Structure 1
Amino acid sequence: MKRVGITGQNGFVGKHLYNTLGLFLEEFERVDFQKDFFENETKLDEFVAQCDVVVHLAAMNRHESEQFIYETNVGLANKLVESLKRTNSKAHVLMSSSTQEEKDNLYGKSKKEGREAIVNWAKENGGSATGLIIPNVFGAFGKPYYNSFIATFCHQLTHGEIPTIANDGEVKLIYVQELVNRIIDEIHIGQSKAECVVEPTATKKVSEVLALLNYYKEKYFDRGEIPELNNKFDHNLFNTYRTYIDHKDFFPVKFTQHTDSRGAFVEVIRLGIGGQCSFSISLPGITRGNHYHTHKIERFAVIKGKALIQLRKIGTDEVLDFNLEGREPAYVDMPIWYTHNIKNIGDEDLYTIFWIDEPFNPEDADTYFETV
């Protein structure tokens, strides 16, 4: 078992990496890191001394002063190097740098100098270092106006704002989970690589991305439809978009009922992709679920009885409660990285339709159990 510590553990990529490592508890032990460790040599040394692997993600991306960004990022790398020396560490250190290295700006310069500092430590002290040169990263829970233009656009389109394009250039992109998987692969390999170029998984113009996000808003946010998703990038971008919706205000979404002398008709889902649709009857008091997915798209539609649907984002304590009743058929969609359940809180059987965007595959179930 390898003990892995992540500087920047609570940042955008750090949180995804931390949570994903938690799916491999028989292989990895996560060493907890707090931001203030960089201001306390004793705590930083205690952290470093415990680690077989250190993934250095802590950095500043944006600030009104480029010089402050440069000094902060170089300073963090140097503090880590000094701690590695004080503790005589032989850890494998993976340093996140950026394709901005090749550009003439202080942010790129700070990342390059930080990477070189880690690599030099490894050469001089018998450690190992992997300098990850990473393209633009997007994904669920990125911070708008900070992590990426995609985070900003998603936030704006789910909060009544209109995005604008400052520079419609081509951008090399990688989805955060794809990056996390690559980092874990490099941990497994365990070899020094001074320049480990992480290839982008998509190259898009900013206007192309915005067009897709506007399409998702029109189809999903405004009309409740699952849009057509033609490839892996589309799927990842749609899942990213969904996480910026204020779930407390958006769900449950009531269906449109068409009634006549025969009874009622309700369209449960309209979609541009396939998947699997299931039906369940839950007895009073029964709870189903208590699991989460990292890439599946799922809808719970209550058509008879009374249900309590609960969501909780992994790594947080806040539980979102949604009460649904068959007399007013409604649905709640399950965001990725949210554990969820559904409970029959009525006195009669609960009828629920479950739709998920891909048929169940026991070799890639993407279902991780955790109580809400």
Structure 2
Amino acid sequence: MKKVGITGQNGFVGWHLYQTLKLYKEEFTLIDFERGFFEDDASLDEFVSQCDVIVHLAALNRHNDPEVIYEMNTGLVKKLVASLERTQSQAHVIISSSTQEERDNLYGKSKKEGRLMLSDWANRAGGRFTGMIIPNVYGPFGHPYYNSVVATFCHQVSHNETPKIEVDGQLKLIYVGELVEEIIKAIRNDDNTHELQISHTAEAKVSEILALLEHYKEVYQEKGEFPAINSAFEHKLFNTYRCYMDIANYFPRKFTQHTDNRGAFVEIARHGIAGQTSFSTTLPGITRGNHFHTRKIERFAVIKGKALIQLRKIGTNEVHNFYLDSDQPAYVDMPIWYTHNIKNIGEDTLYTIFWINEPYDAGDPDTWFEVV
């Protein structure tokens, strides 16, 4: 197994890379990194000496003073190079640089100089080095006002704030999960490309992205309907948007129940995409689930009985508890990267309808087991 360490493992890309590598337990061992290691040579050397692969993601993206960004980013690389030299490391080092390398700004300059410093180290030490030049990254759990305009707009739209377009530019984008797969591919292939251009997977104007997010708010967040999804980009953007909603205060959502002398009628879901609908009965005290998805869109609808639905974001300890009762039929949707379960907490059989946007495929299940 390769021992992999990630500087900036709790950052946007670092979190996704760390959690994805954890899924491949037979292939990778993770060496934990802490921010304070850069301030203590002994701790940094211990970290470096344990790693077969170091993915350097720690960086400052935004600051009021561009000089601070430049000094911070180049300084972190200098400290990493010094540690690599002190420990005589033969690790495969991967750095995330940016397509802003060629722009006339200190952030782009800091990323390019950092990549070249590590390239020089690899040439001197005979090490392997991958210098990834990456387009704009978007996806769940990015920090608004920091990581990307997509993160900022998702937060603002989902929280009823008013976004403002400063420049309606054409953005070349890559989804964070796609970038993670590129990094894992480089690790597996022992890549030694010192200037590796990572292609964007989508392209859209800022105004087009905002229009889609406002559509998701209207159709999904306000009406409870699944919107039509016309491309892989829209699928990923919709899943991104859902992760910025305040789920603790949004779910469970009560259905509109229509009753007459024949009984009651409830509409479970309106959706503009294909999917699979399933029905289950669950005996008292029994729990189903305890797994998560990284791409699937899923709804649990309680029709009869009493249920506890629990969600927990992977890598965190906070558990969201949602209590549902068929006296007021309701549903909870499962955000990606949240492990979830449903438990019958009543005395009678629990009836649940499940809707998911893709049929189960044993060859590519996107179902990862982890107890909530």
Residue 321 of structure 2 is matched in structure 1 by 321
Q: Which amino acid aligns with 1:132?
A: M
Aligned to 1:70: 70
For residue 160 of structure 1, report the CA deviation from its aligned partner: 1.2
The CA RMSD over aligned residues, in Å, is: 0.5
Counterpart of 1:191, as a letter, is D
Distance in 2 (CA, whole Å) between partners of 1:170 and 1:83 is 40
| SS at structure 1 position matched to 2:213 | helix
User: Does residue 208 in structure 1 map to residue 211 in structure 2?
Assistant: no
Give SS of 2:195's match: strand
Q: Structure 1 counterpart of 2:106, which letter?
A: L
Q: Does 1:151 align with 2:159?
A: no
Q: Which residue is equivalent to 1:331?
A: 331
Partner of 1:370: 370
Report the alpha carbon displacement of residue 192 of structure 1 after superposing the two structures with TM: 1.2
Q: Deviations over 1:131-188 (max 9, x none)?
A: 0000000000000000000000000011110111000010110000000000000111
Secondary structure (helix, strand or coil) at the match of 1:160 reads coil
1:173-212 matches, within 5 Å, as 173-212=173-212
Instruction: Name 1:101's counterpart in structure 2.
Output: 101
What amino acid is aligned across from residue 214 of structure 1 in structure 2?
E
Secondary structure at the aligned position of 1:101 is classed as helix
Residues in 2 aligned to 1:77 and 1:238: alpha-carbon distance in whole angstroms:
35
Q: Deviations over 1:31-65 (max 9, x none)?
A: 00001000000000000000000000000000000
Displacement of 1:191 in angstroms is 2.5
> For residues 285-304 of structure 1, what are the structure 2 equivalents within 5 Å?
285-304=285-304
- In the TM superposition, residue 116 of structure 1 has moved relative to its aligned partner by 0.3
Aligned to 1:364, the other structure's residue is in SS state coil
SS, match of residue 144 in structure 1: coil
How big is the shift at 1:126?
1.3
Q: In structure 2, what is the equivalent of residue 244 of structure 1?
A: 244
2:91 pairs with 1:91: yes
Question: C-alpha distance in 2, partners of 1:21/1:201?
Answer: 22
Counterpart CA distance in 1 for 2:68 and 2:137 is 22
Does 2:261 align with 1:258? Answer: no
- TM-score (norm: length of structure 2): 1.00
2:273 and 2:279 map into 1 onto residues whose CA distance is 19
**Deviations along 1:107-146, whole A, 9 cap, x unmatched?**
0000000000000000001111100000000000000000
Report the AA paired with residue 235 of structure 2: H
Aligned amino acid, residue 144 of structure 1:
P
Question: What is the deviation of 1:189?
Answer: 1.1
Counterpart residue type for residue 328 of structure 1: Q
Letter in 2 for 1:55: V
Match of 1:54 in 2: 54
For 1:186, give the aligned amino acid: A
* Letter aligned with residue 221 of structure 1: Q
Percent of pairs with identical residues: 65
Distance in structure 2 (CA, Å) of the matches to 1:31 and 1:235: 33
Residues of 1 paired with 2:319 and 2:271: CA distance?
28
Indicate yes or no: 2:281 matched with 1:284.
Answer: no
* Paired letter, 1:16: H
CA–CA distance in 1 between the matches of 2:35 and 2:172? 29
Residue 273 of structure 1, CA deviation: 0.2
State the Cα deviation string for residues 329-363 of structure 1 (Å, max 9, x = none): 00000010000000000000000000000011111
| CA distance in 2 between partners of 1:62 and 1:363 (Å) | 41
Structure 2 runs not aligned, ≥5 long: none
Deviations 1:301-349 (A, max 9, x none): 0010000000000000000000000110000000100000000000000
The answer as to 2:309 corresponding to 1:309 is yes
Secondary structure, counterpart of 2:321 in structure 1: strand
Separation of aligned partners in 2, 1:188 and 1:322? 41
The CA distance in 2 between the partners of 1:145 and 1:130, in whole Å, is 29
Q: Which residue of 1 aligns with 2:344?
A: 344
Q: Which residue does 2:7 correspond to in 1?
A: 7
Residue identity opposite 2:314 in structure 1: I
C-alpha displacement of 1:102: 1.1
Give the match's secondary structure for 1:6. strand
Compute the TM-score of the two structures, normalised by the length of structure 1.
1.00
Residues 126-165 of structure 1 mapped to structure 2, 5 A cutoff: 126-165=126-165
- Counterpart CA distance in 2 for 1:100 and 1:17 is 22
Deviations 1:77-129 (A, max 9, x none): 11000000000000100011000001000000000000000000000011111
Q: Distance in 1 between matches of 2:322 and 2:22?
A: 28
CA distance in 1, matches of 2:160, 2:199: 34
Structure 1 unpaired stretches of 5+? none
Query: Deviation per CA, 1:282-311, whole angstroms, max 9, x where unpaired?
Result: 000010000000000000000100000000
Partner secondary structure for residue 15 of structure 1? helix
The answer for the alignment partner of 1:114 in structure 2 is 114
Local SS of the residue matching 1:351: strand
How far apart, CA to CA, are the structure 2 residues paired with 1:162 and 1:224? 21
